[in-house]
Structure 1
Amino acid sequence: MRRIFKYIVVYFCAFTGPLAGNAILSMLKELQLSYNVQLDDVLLSIPTFMFPFAIFQLFSGTISERWSRRTLIFVGLLIYGLSSIGIALADDFFLFLLMRIGQGVGYAFVGPVTVAVLGDIADRSKYGILMGFYGSAVTAGLSIGPLIGGYTAMYDWRIAFWIFGLISFLAAILVLAVIPRIDQVEKRSNERMVENIREVVRNRNLSLISLIGALAFFAMIGNLSFLSDSLRYAPFDYSSSEVGLLLTVAGLVGIFVSPIAGAFIDRFSTRLSTMIGLSIAAPMIALLALSDDYFVFMALLAAIGAAGTFIWAGLLTISIEELPALRGTSSSVFNSSRFSGYAIAPTLLAPVYAAFNFDGIAISCMVIAIAALILSRCLSGKACFHRRAIISKD
């Protein structure tokens, strides 16, 4: 029972960080009016959150191999929470962006370290299902954030960031109360952080899943970013709360699908799980451009959410199994890479949106998802195949 509480706290931390990342998508119009800026300016708040997150987490997992994972998570949540309150108080757009950077830095010390904590406290035979739930928690945060943002934006968008700050402080308290201080058994392997990162990067599978993760997030988040804006204007004219609800559906579906994805991985393979997810996501992304009905949008986003659960469950499991002695570093490199795809998507796709509207976005993101699918076929080794047989031998 005590282990279950530890899992719940880890998942709550995984859920907390992404809340603010996607909340921006359901309040784009309100932020433009509040700060008197253009859409491109508001979309900068996504990379200003994600780039620091991607860069700093490259080292946070490695640092956690040498010092307390619990302490790093606690400090990261405090920084994230204080930055969220800072955004709620910011009356200047530059200060708003500066606080977004603070959020990204704070969560960089939470995301990859919580993955490593799961590896520390879990039985290997349960890695698949536990990573399925973890991916679901992250997706839920990415999806429920816009719901909170959309509904609070009807009154005052700043309320959302007060909520995110308070949730972060609650998570920090729970970490100290529930997560034990673990003496890392891998410490003897971590005399030099740079060497750890090099060892991970030289690993073929870890390099592949890092690239696949970046492409998958680029396709999925790039698609959602501009779909959110498109739906606020003619011919749809959906409200901020209606858009927020649509974006939330994907995360809620992921919560229910995650046990299936995890059980699938534990019975079959991580590679197959990833390929199935990408095979579903690619056509669903393209079909969004053809939809003109609210509930069709909802169904397609639900399918993309379910697909994402299979993708992330597979890739996350590989990230902690490929090099068990360096799972903190492996998790950092993988997460840094995949969230880099998240960060650059809005900026790189903005010219496509300006020239070809959402149709161009849907086609581009579908092609990126297909590229990720092709790369996933190149995964090999025991961390990617025949899960049940490997676990029984070990």
Structure 2
Amino acid sequence: MRSRVTRAAIFAGAFMGPFGGGITVSMLPELGAGFGISAGTASLSVTAYLVPFAALMLVSGTLGERWGRRRAVITAYLVYVVSSLIAFFATWLPLFLAMRVLQGAANAFTTPLLLAVVAGSVKAGSLGRSLGWFGSLQAAGQTSAPLLGGLAAEVDWRYAFLGVAVAAGILAAVGLPPSPRPATRARPRLRSAWRVHVLRIGLVGGLGWGCVAGLNFLVALRLEDAFGLGAAQRGLLLTVLGVAGILTARLIGSAVDRVGPRRCILTGVVLGALVVAGVGLVPAVWAIGLLWAFGGVSSQLVLVGVNALVLRTSGANMAGSTSVVQSFRFTFAALAPVVITPLYHADAALAFLAPAALLLLVGPPTLPRREESTGAEDGAKA
């Protein structure tokens, strides 16, 4: 019974990272009113979370492997509890934003280490299926964060932070299975996670996520400008990407086990390019909604495939390699609005065709052609 609860907590941890990043998205007006600022300024709460979240994942997995996965994850949850409670009581904007930074930093130490725990606990031939479950819960966190944050804001936005503090506290109490701390000579070095092989996988994963799921804002712009949809209608249509991801991630995980992660990633890249180009060109709202649902399938093909590929080929430093790949994913998603919005204002169709072309031209040739394995000794070089 204890092992089942612990396993459930591992997968529940997958929910926390994306959820924490998106929880303030739908409460920006209320958040702004609470601190006497505009909703636009309140959007700093999203940036304050995502920047340290993405940046620290360049090193968080390796550091967590050195310290011990169980210790690092539980400490991260406890830091998340404290920062969420301070955010709940905060009446000074800089303090609130500092706590968002701390939340993002803490969650940078959960996702990659939990993926490594999953990879180390599954039977041979079933890694993809487990990663599919993990991916579906990440998609659920991303999709439900605006909804639950908005519901909390109907009463008081602060209750959202109280809720996540309680959830993180429960996860910390359940913990992880004990993992032995490696001997000094076996501690992985940072460069063992920054191999060219890993960076290539990370680049494809970042493109596959940033050029599809990261374009939610672009689809919303087109729905408003071309079809005159209101905020509620746009929000409802955009959720189909997350819902499709939730529903298909487990099936995609099984496909990864059957045909291999590389084929799934390439399928996701090609499908994503077709989806993005189509969303920018089709003349009907229902067609955009249908295509955007396939965008969720594409994103999960890339995400689950990339996670499986890097975990299979990372040697001793599984969490470190995975964290580098995850950093690419969230960095590309954060950069997408900055890079694509000027293109949209210049030419709406070009804003969709450019990322679609980038996926096709860069994704397939960048993906490693074989599942290179470095062996445990590569990760152990101190």
Q: TM-score, normalised by structure 1?
A: 0.82
Look up the match of 1:280: 271
Look up the match of 1:214: 206
Look up the match of 2:180: 183
Look up the match of 2:311: 320
What CA deviation, in whole Å up to 9, does each residue of 1:85-105 have, x standing for no partner?
444444444334322211111
What CA deviation, in whole Å up to 9, does each residue of 1:4-59 have, x standing for no partner?
544322110011121021234434455556543363x4444333212211222222
Look up the match of 2:370: 381
Look up the match of 1:36: 37
* TM superposition shift of 1:73: 0.9
Amino acid at match of 2:317: L
Contact 2:143 2:242 in 1 (8 A): yes
Amino acid at match of 2:318: R
- Structure 2 vs 1, CA of residues 79 and 344 (structure 1 numbering), >3 Å: closer, same or farther? farther
For 1:243 and 1:89, the matched residues in 2 are separated by 33
Contact 1:137 1:255 in 2 (8 A): yes
Contact 2:249 2:300 in 1 (8 A): yes
For 1:291 and 1:299, the matched residues in 2 are separated by 11
Amino acid at match of 2:322: S
Amino acid at match of 1:213: G
Amino acid at match of 1:149: G
* TM superposition shift of 1:253: 2.4
Which residue among 204, 217, 223 is the counterpart of 2:215? 223
1:269 aligns with 2:266: no
1:1-394 to 2 correspondences below 5 Å: 4-31=4-31, 35-37=36-38, 39=40, 41-175=41-175, 179-183=176-180, 188-190=185-187, 196-202=189-195, 204-228=196-220, 235-239=228-232, 243-290=234-281, 296-352=287-343, 355-356=345-346, 361-376=351-366, 378-382=367-371
What CA deviation, in whole Å up to 9, does each residue of 1:150-195 have, x standing for no partner?
33444544433333332222222222xxx211115686432xx5xx
User: Secondary structure of 2:49's match?
Assistant: helix
* TM superposition shift of 1:350: 4.4
Mean Cα displacement is larger for which, 52-61 or 304-313? Answer: 52-61
Contact 1:228 1:243 in 2 (8 A): yes
- Structure 2 vs 1, CA of residues 54 and 314 (structure 1 numbering), >3 Å: closer, same or farther? same
Look up the match of 1:388: none
For 1:27 and 1:292, the matched residues in 2 are separated by 31
- Structure 2 vs 1, CA of residues 168 and 289 (structure 1 numbering), >3 Å: closer, same or farther? farther
Look up the match of 2:377: none
For 1:245 and 1:85, the matched residues in 2 are separated by 31
Contact 2:213 2:241 in 1 (8 A): no
What CA deviation, in whole Å up to 9, does each residue of 1:101-158 have, x standing for no partner?
1111110111111111112222232111112222222122111112212334445444
- Structure 2 vs 1, CA of residues 337 and 84 (structure 1 numbering), >3 Å: closer, same or farther? same
Amino acid at match of 2:214: G
Contact 2:248 2:297 in 1 (8 A): yes
For 1:157 and 1:360, the matched residues in 2 are separated by 38
For 1:160 and 1:136, the matched residues in 2 are separated by 22
For 2:336 and 2:84, the matched residues in 1 are separated by 23
Contact 1:26 1:228 in 2 (8 A): no
Contact 1:254 1:305 in 2 (8 A): yes
* TM superposition shift of 1:276: 1.1
For 2:143 and 2:337, the matched residues in 1 are separated by 17
RMSD: 3.1
For 2:184 and 2:125, the matched residues in 1 are separated by 24
* TM superposition shift of 1:312: 0.9
Look up the match of 2:380: none
Mean Cα displacement is larger for which, 12-21 or 328-337? Answer: 328-337
* TM superposition shift of 1:360: 5.5
What CA deviation, in whole Å up to 9, does each residue of 1:235-263 have, x standing for no partner?
21223xx5554444333322321222111
Look up the match of 1:387: none
Contact 1:212 1:375 in 2 (8 A): no
For 1:351 and 1:286, the matched residues in 2 are separated by 17
Task: Extract unaligned runs of 5+ from structure 2.
Answer: 374-382
* TM superposition shift of 1:71: 1.8
Amino acid at match of 1:123: K
- Structure 2 vs 1, CA of residues 222 and 311 (structure 1 numbering), >3 Å: closer, same or farther? closer
Mean Cα displacement is larger for which, 100-109 or 61-70? Answer: 61-70
For 2:221 and 2:92, the matched residues in 1 are separated by 23
For 2:27 and 2:283, the matched residues in 1 are separated by 21
Number of residue pairs matched? 371
Mean Cα displacement is larger for which, 101-110 or 57-66? Answer: 57-66
Task: Extract unaligned runs of 5+ from structure 1.
Answer: 385-394
For 1:357 and 1:148, the matched residues in 2 are separated by 35
For 1:330 and 1:153, the matched residues in 2 are separated by 37
User: Secondary structure of 1:125's match?
Assistant: coil
